[in-house]
Each structure stands twice: as structure tokens, then as C-alpha cells.
């Protein structure tokens, strides 16, 4: 649980908000020219960074407005809040290094492997 | 005496001791109003019809004797007024048109539970993550939040020197849930 400073309503509890996933994903201009892989990439593939991530949030139980948030997903520290439509800001943050040296990309770590059950 | 009757008596005692009153307000007209706050023409049309301003300041409302206009978001307001004045809705709809503004009658959507008493902030805090003292600090404060899991609009109704009085705007289907929670919350109010 953490607090989010809604640009319109002020500081509120996280439970009032919904996260809309990664920000700054641009819809391809000519979807018909894309291969299935490229289209799937646009639709489904998200970075899911452990560290500083650019996200869209909606104040669903308040003013119902969308805005962008730069959040450190490892510490839940919010580094910047800016409007939809604005360019992604340059953010210098402290990306914590985990003791086990987990990769930054991916929510799991090396030990998580997918094994087919028989 | 039945357990249930004992409980009801006990709750009544606590509520009387703390002078807590809960009531559902009679039917009120409610209009959801959406327009661009930078459109001066639209803003002045609304001001003329409602005889009160549409607040630009977030989490506030303005009122006169019959109308309350409540800020919901930068371009959205809730207008609440008594049953007998039907002209407001028709006037707004006529004058604003439906291209750059939207006027929707949502009277049936929400009901209003009015709760008053000197310790109601403590009582309501049991169900809110919000700091009521901060968010309902002025006479014209209102705030949208979650009441346990239910979206509500809280509106402070009292002046500074009066007993606290809060209007809870809630979906009709959730009103019973909220009412029961509040009654339940009074059981162990020990102040
Ligand atoms: Zn908000």
C-alpha cells in the first residue's frame, strides 16, 4: 500500500486507483501491414521492469482521470507524476541491486523455471 | 429478551449518548454535468440557471438555498436540487446543447444518507482510508473515495461551529450495506 498524489484530488490511498499498465505504448499506424508477431508484440508484450517503470494510472474512485506515473516497482517509490500526452521525462533513480543478482527485466528470478507437468 | 432486541437497544443507547442521527434523505434530483471549464459562455449559462457557480477548485461544492453544485473532476459536476424544481434540468439541456456539453439526469442512481453527531468522524473513519479531518476540513468540502469497497461521495454539511454533519452519496444498491456497516460500527464506539 502506498499513497499517490492525484494531480486533481491530491494525496490519496492507492486503493482508490487502478493501474493501467505500461505507458507510452504507441499504436502502430498501419496494423494491416504488420505480421502476427509484431501485432502480438504491440498487444501483449510488456516490459514489467523491476525498478523504474513508466505506468498509466486511473483515479477510478475519485476524479476518474488518467495520468502517468514513474514508479520504482521494487520500492513503490513514486518519482514523478505527469499528464497523459506528455513526453516521458528523464528520470535518474536508484535502482536497487538485489543480493541474488536477479535480472531487472522479469518479475521472477533465475530459479523460476517452467516445467511441464506430466 | 431476545439477543437481537438487546443489541438494538444497546446500539440505540450508544447512538443517543453520542447524539448520532442517521437518515436517508427524501428524493433529490441529481444531474451529471460535463463541460469544458474554459468555455466561459457555458460556465455563465450554468451560473445563470443554477444561481451559483460551478466550482473550479477541486473537492469543493457551492450552494444556494435550493441547489448544490459539486465538483467531481475538472470537467464534471454533480448538481443536486429539490424535487419540485423541474425547470433546471430542461433549461440546462436546452441552453447547453449536446455537442460540447452533456447533461444527464442521474437522480435514480444515487441516494443520500445523512449522518450527524459530534463523533461521526471517528465512526466513519472505521470504514475509510481517508483522513476526514484533512479532507473535510472546510465548510464547502466534498470528497470522492471508497467506503470499505463502495465508491461514495462525502459532503460536509455543517458550519464550523455546528455539530458535524456529513452527506453520503451512494449507489442505491449499496445504501443498505453502508447503513448496516455504520450501525455495526456504533456497537463498539467507546469514547
Ligand atoms: Zn483524482
**CA-to-CA distance for B86 and B79, rounded, in angstroms?**
13
In a domain, A117, yes or no: no
Tens digit of pLDDT for each residue in B40-51? 999 999 999 999
Do residues B81 and B122 share a domain? no
Domain total in chain A: 1
Domain total in chain B: 2
Do residues B37 and B88 share a domain? yes
Do residues B93 and B129 share a domain? no
**Which of A12, A13, A61 comes nearest B151 by C-beta?**
A61
Residue B1's pLDDT band, with cuts at 50, 70 and 90, is low
Which of B51, B71, B105 is the endpoint of a domain?
A: B105
Question: Residue A52's pLDDT is what?
Answer: 87
Cβ neighbours of residue B125 closer than 8 Å, sequence gap 6 or more: B132
Between B98 and B135, the higher pLDDT residue: B135
Chain A residues interacting with chain B (CB cutoff of 8 angstroms): 8-10, 12-13, 15-16, 61-65
Domain with A41, as residue range(s), is 3-82
Do residues B13 and B54 share a domain? no
Task: Tell me how close the Cα of A49 comes to any Cα of chain B, in angstroms.
Answer: 29
Which of B78, B105, B132 is the endpoint of a domain?
A: B105
What CATH number does residue B159 fall under?
A: 3.30.1360.120
Do residues B86 and B47 share a domain? yes
Tens digit of pLDDT for each residue in A87-99? 999 887 666 666 5
In a domain, B191, yes or no: no
What CATH number does residue B56 fall under?
A: 3.30.70.1520
Mutual angle of helices B3-17 and B172-186, in 10-degree steps: 80
**Considering the entire predicted model, what is its pTM?**
0.85
**Which of A27-31, B16-20, B48-52, B82-86 has the weakest average pLDDT?**
B82-86
Q: Tell me whether residues B144 and A65 touch, CB distance under 8 A.
A: no
In a domain, B174, yes or no: yes
Tens digit of pLDDT for each residue in B113-157? 999 998 899 999 999 999 999 999 999 999 999 999 999 999 999
3-state secondary structure of B171: strand
In a domain, A74, yes or no: yes
Do residues B87 and B130 share a domain? no
Which of B56, B74, B105 is the endpoint of a domain?
A: B105
In a domain, B80, yes or no: yes
Do residues B33 and B48 share a domain? yes
Mean pLDDT of B62-91: 90
Number of CB pairs < 8 Å for A and B?
A: 36
In a domain, A73, yes or no: yes
**Which of B58, B72, B129 comes nearest A15 by C-beta?**
B129
> Please, what's the b/e burial string for A63-78 (b: 16 or more CB within 10 A of its CB; e: otherwise)?
bebebbbbbbebeeeb
Do residues B142 and B83 share a domain? no
In a domain, A44, yes or no: yes
Question: Residue B169's pLDDT is what?
Answer: 96
The mean of the pLDDT values for chain B is 89
Do residues B58 and B72 share a domain? yes
Cβ neighbours of residue A88 closer than 8 Å, sequence gap 6 or more: A23, A24, A54, A68
Domain with B55, as residue range(s), is 28-105
Cβ neighbours of residue B75 closer than 8 Å, sequence gap 6 or more: B34, B35, B36, B37
Q: Most B CBs within 10 Å: which of A13, A17, A83, as the mutation test of the B interface?
A: A13
Amino acid at each position: 500500500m502506498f499513497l499517490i498524489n492525484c494531480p486533481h484530488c491530491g494525496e490519496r490511498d492507492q486503493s482508490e486507483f487502478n493501474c493501467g499498465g505500461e505507458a507510452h505504448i504507441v499504436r502502430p499506424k498501419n496494423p494491416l501491414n504488420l505480421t502476427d508477431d509484431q501485432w502480438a508484440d504491440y498487444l501483449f508484450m510488456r516490459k514489467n521492469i523491476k525498478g523504474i517503470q513508466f505506468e498509466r494510472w486511473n483515479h477510478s474512485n475519485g476524479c476518474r482521470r488518467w495520468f502517468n506515473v514513474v514508479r520504482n516497482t521494487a520500492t513503490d517509490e513514486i518519482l514523478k507524476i505527469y499528464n497523459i500526452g506528455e513526453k516521458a521525462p528523464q528520470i535518474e533513480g536508484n535502482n536497487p541491486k538485489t543480493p541474488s543478482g536477479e535480472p531487472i527485466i522479469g518479475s521472477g528470478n533465475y530459479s523460476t523455471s517452467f516445467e511441464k507437468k506430466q | 429478551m431476545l439477543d437481537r432486541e438487546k443489541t438494538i437497544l444497546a446500539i440505540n443507547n450508544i447512538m443517543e449518548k453520542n447524539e448520532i442521527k442517521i437518515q436517508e434523505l427524501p428524493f433529490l434530483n441529481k444531474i451529471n454535468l460535463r463541460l469544458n471549464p474554459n468555455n466561459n459562455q457555458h460556465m455563465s449559462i450554468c451560473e445563470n440557471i443554477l444561481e451559483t457557480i460551478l466550482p473550479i477548485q477541486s473537492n469543493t461544492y457551492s450552494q444556494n438555498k435550493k441547489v448544490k453544485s459539486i465538483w467531481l473532476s475538472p470537467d464534471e459536476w454533480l448538481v443536486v436540487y429539490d424535487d419540485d424544481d423541474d425547470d433546471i434540468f430542461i433549461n440546462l439541456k436546452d441552453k447547453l446543447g449536446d455537442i460540447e456539453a452533456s447533461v444527464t439526469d442521474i437522480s435514480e442512481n444515487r441516494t443520500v444518507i445523512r449522518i450527524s453527531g459530534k463523533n461521526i468522524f471517528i465512526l466513519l473513519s472505521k470504514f475509510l482510508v481517508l483522513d476526514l479531518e484533512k479532507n473535510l476540513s472546510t465548510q464547502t468540502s466534498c470528497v470522492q473515495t471508497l467506503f470499505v469497497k463502495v465508491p461514495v461521495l462525502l459532503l460536509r454539511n455543517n458550519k464550523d461551529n455546528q455539530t458535524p454533519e456529513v452527506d453520503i452519496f451512494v449507489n442505491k444498491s449499496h445504501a443498505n450495506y453502508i447503513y448496516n456497516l455504520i450501525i455495526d460500527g456504533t456497537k463498539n464506539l467507546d469514547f
